[in-house]
Structure 1
């Protein structure tokens, strides 16, 4: 198994094999919380204009996401796990567009398979890759605004790589570094902003909270849907 780590949109375009698009704070943590709360369809979208068009055509759709870290006009939710963790999404369709994470999904055009990655489902991601045992694994760190390296995404990529290679990980040290020493500390400096509540820090670092991966699948002619795959159930079937 060859494992390569890439960055940003250009890295997503280079990715091949089984590809993990990584956005710890916050896109693919929030996506897991929404999925766990019963969402019917979760569509990752690159263009905010497309998101608005889908909402206009389907008024019942829920818009979630951000630009520049801020919830956008007309959106129901930002990109915050705290905002959605207690919301019942049963039977709902969510359109999710962000500055980094969803850009990686739509840009990974050469990947054989795409799943998302965050610490909230890290164990499931590692187990899924082990079970698939692909020749190539691409770990794509989307970073801040898909333009600046984000420590949490790089640390997650190395966490997965270590797990696949049978090397130890020190998650407590990762959390301490992100809280105390990393630029990610600015994550905690926001006060009174519903787009970026400080509670998201712990929610995004709730290790292995979810036993599933989110796999990008084609939906219709031009859409991508994130499908929930419970790794334990998939293991027993496969």
Structure 2
């Protein structure tokens, strides 16, 4: 059984698999960070938590936003375009965001937890389908569209559900159009809004073939996104 939830505050019951989606922009940023060599990404609830880790591990890099805006003192904001230009070989990132990270921290009650944006959605869906295909009907899978009202995350969730169940009614073009036309994306196309870059939406609405998925390791006190090669 696959259930889609929308929003970042759901405290889900125990499940076999949770998939948390943040298209614009947290897990698109994470995807490109791993493409560019990031070793791991620690997930934290607050800005204070991020700075506390930075004080203990000064070589760690902080990335994220509050209400969409980059945080003063962080090394990176939440722009996939910007992170796609960085060399991050073997670096550890600490990520704090409004929706994706928060939803993930509320989705830990599961055997397997994955995160993704649209850019890695197909790869993630096929990985889940391939590994667990023999018993899909007996598994409880939750897909969390982390933005409370964003059609970008919801479209991606519906797309992934269809891919896993081989009952997909959404084409990639349709998903990409829903991402670009979602109210979450509007501010990125406003030339007077200098805090948001329209090129971010280009990356958020582009499927990028990858040989890995992003899985959350829950064995430590701080949940960590790790790259799992497939």
TM-score (norm 1): 0.87
Tell me the residue number matched to 2:43: 44
- Measured against aligned partners, the alpha-carbon deviations of 1:157-189 in whole angstroms (never above 9, x if no partner) come to 100111112123312122234334x32341433
CA distance 1:132–1:142, shift in 2 (3 Å): same
Q: Separation in 2 of the partners of 1:51 and 1:194?
A: 25
Change (3 A) 1:15 1:208: farther
Show the counterpart of 1:95: 94
Deviations 1:179-235 (A, max 9, x none): 34x323414334476652110111011113323210000354x1111111122xxxx
For the residue of structure 1 that corresponds to 2:8, the secondary structure is helix
**Pairing 1:100-119 to 2, within 5 Å after superposition:** 100-119=99-118
Q: Which runs of 5 or more structure 1 residues have no equivalent in the other structure?
A: 232-238
- Please report how far the alpha carbon of residue 95 of structure 1 lies from its aligned counterpart in structure 2 after TM superposition: 0.4
Counterpart residue number, 2:142: 138
Show CA shifts across 1:43-84 (max 9, x none). 111121110101111111111000000001101111110111
**CA separation in 1, counterparts of 2:14 and 2:206?**
27
Q: Distance in 1 between matches of 2:174 and 2:53?
A: 42
Structure 2 residue ranges without an equivalent (≥5): none
Deviation at 1:42, TM superposition (A): 1.2
Report the CA distance between 1:155 and its aligned residue.
Answer: 0.4
TM-score (norm 2): 0.90
Contact kept, 8 Å, 2:13 with 2:109, in 1: the verdict is: yes
Contact 1:12 1:105 in 2 (8 A): no
Task: Note closer, same or farther for the CA distance 1:113–1:11 as it changes in structure 2 (3 Å cut).
Answer: same
- Match for residue 205 of structure 2? 205
